[in-house]
Amino acid sequence: MKNSTRHRDAVVERGPLRREPDAATAAAVDDASTRDRVLQSILEHGPSTAAELAARLELTPAAIRRHLGALTELGAVASREKKVYGQRGRGRPSKVFVLTDAGRADFYQAYDDLAIQAIRELAAAAGPSALRSLAEQRVADVEARYREARVSAPDAPPIQALAAALSETGYVASIKPVGSGEQICQHHCPVAHVAAQFPELCEAETQLFSRLLGSHVQRLATIAHGDGVCTTHIPRPVDVQISPKERS
């Protein structure tokens, strides 16, 4: 996180030159580093409870709560009630922590404002078809990496090749089995701010998933629209055969 990194640098540079950092300085550096790890864990795994974060990062629940409190005050994370599917049990609902726009900002590509302006001018000058073409070109790299993964591991499930291709292109993807099929979860979107203005980017990506997996897919959530994770449901197992052209 940029704020914590700047704070860490400022703490280390404080005081006379060549002075060894004291215990308070070292503790501040450790805190900033741990908070960066908390943010990274939420990014990679999506909305998380304090207990889940403590287990992943091998910290005590008390330590995690302290760091989450600090990150909440900084505006990097926010808490909300955990979604429950099916019948809710007794007791108080669990609370999960999600990245805010400020907390996610470090993981976005630069020049979002410039990109948005350029795309608006393109759409105004060349019309909607140019915007659709741009969106298709954007996902072309994912498709190319998917094809390479399918050729190198033809016996692996196609959804694994797609998740790998997405991760290689910056989307930090994982696969989540569910009762009615599987879900592809993208924990980061390099173009989320741009996609929020131009939904054609998400639409092209969803169409690509459907074509590559040979299945109707359903986009359940997107980071561009404020969700913690981009989630796409694949309703049934798929088995896409590699064509002779792909093998060549």
Whether residue 235 is predicted with pLDDT greater than 50 in this model: the reply is yes
Location of structure tokens 């590509």: 109
Rounded to an integer, what distance in angstroms lies between the CA atom of residue 169 and that of residue 66? 34
Q: What is the pLDDT of residue 245?
A: 60
Tell me: pLDDT of 183 over 80. Answer: yes
24 has pLDDT over 70: no
| Dihedral of alpha carbons 73, 63, 50, 196, sign | positive
61: DSSP letter: H
3-state secondary structure of 118: helix
- pLDDT of 248 over the 60 cut: no
Given a cut of 80, whether residue 17 has pLDDT beyond it is no
pLDDT bin (cut points 50, 70, 90) of residue 10 is very low
Which residue do the tokens 């055969």 mark?
241
Cβ burial 211-231 (10 Å sphere, 16+ → b, else e): ebbebebebebbbbeeebbbb
- Tell me the pLDDT band of 94, cut-offs 50, 70 and 90: confident
Average pLDDT over residues 93-106: 82
Mean pLDDT across the chain:
81
- Mark out the alpha helices in 19-111 (DSSP H runs): 23-45, 50-57, 61-74, 101-104
pLDDT at 64: 93
CA–CA separation, 186 vs 162, rounded Å? 11
| Burial call 59-98: b when 16+ CB within 10 Å, e when fewer | beeeebeebbebbeebebbbeeeeeeeeeeeeeeeeebbb
Cα–Cα distance for residue pair 86/72, rounded to 1 Å: 30
Cα–Cα distance for residue pair 119/193, rounded to 1 Å = 13
For residue 7, the model assigns a pLDDT of 42
Query: Would you state the structure tokens that stand for residue 163, as one six-digit string?
Result: 């998740």
At 221, which helix (H) or strand (E)?
Answer: strand 218-221
Maximum C-alpha span of the chain: 68
Per-residue pLDDT, averaged over 146-174, amounts to 93
Q: Starting at the edge strand that comes first in sequence, how are the strands of the sheet with 173-178 ordered?
A: 173-178, 181-186, 230-234, 218-221
